[in-house]
Amino acid sequence: MSSLERVMFRYKRIIPKFDDFLRCMKTPLPRTVRINTLKADSEEILQSLSEHGVIFKTFNWYEYGLRLLNVSSPGNLIEYFLGYIHTQEEVSMIPPIVLEPKPGELILDMCAAPGSKATQISQIMCNTGHVIANDVDLRRISMLKSNYERLGVLNMSITVYDGRKFPNIPFDKILVDAPCSCEGIYRKNPSVFDNWSLKVIKNLSRLQKRLLSRAIQIAKRGGTVVYSTCTFSPEENEAVIDYVLSIYEGMIKLEEIKLDLEYCSGIKEWNGIKFNDEISLCARFYPHLNDTGGLFVAKIRKI
């Protein structure tokens, strides 16, 4: 049994069309990029790509997402160096859209490096308001800085806090794209299973609960917190959301996720543990449903 099959077998009863899922996980990811309208308008960027022989297809659910059909290394394109495009996996573009940042707002990306989602938030906000891009890992901060400079982001500051201890600043919206076991990126990086274990998952779950709790504490009343991971593990997904629904009962509620993509609802039970009924409002994006990586996302409103 391969490492993929060994790890994924624990999810067989919760993943629909499991055999299709396994087959998809063994295939390479499509090459995808995000059009960056902070540097040029979409038409100009698409024209430039076409003139350089790039064949592409626009996402049917997000006008700034592209699949590149004849390019193996998007990072080598002149449009990448100019900041016209940014290499980003398709489901990675979902959390900032679910967050719905508005121009003029104060936004925190709590675990931001290397910056794909943070710079997408800046793009959605048209370089207005302010984005705090935070990460505890100094080694990754340089990548974050490089990306926001290349992409023409002007409304961003970088901080280096442990998200569990982020200062008491009231934010309109917060993204917690939490550190996780990364099972959903196997198609891009099969080595993610080299150090996989249930102990690692349990340790990550404890960290995720504290990160999300802190985000809820510092979000404004009426504000939004989006929680996302690129893993399938219920311990890191539904169990984390169930935890904060219990701890902050009456203070938060989950909201429905509306995207023109196929996904499954959050599961209501795992290993004999029943979750809050609201968990069904969470979304699980599986690779075989849209030919992507894996993603879990939840949208939380602070009442």
Known catalytic residues are 230
Give the integer Cα–Cα distance in Å for 243 and 175. 18
Name residue, tokens 């985000």: 215
Give the integer Cα–Cα distance in Å for 290 and 286. 7
- b/e burial code for range 92-117 (CB count within 10 A of at least 16 → b): bbbbbbbbebeeebbbbbbbbbbbbb
Contact status, residue 292 vs residue 89, Cβ threshold 8 Å: yes
- Residue 188 CB: number of other CB atoms within 10 A? 13
Q: At what angle do helices 116-124 and 138-150 cross, to 10 degrees?
A: 40
Give the integer Cα–Cα distance in Å for 285 and 294. 5
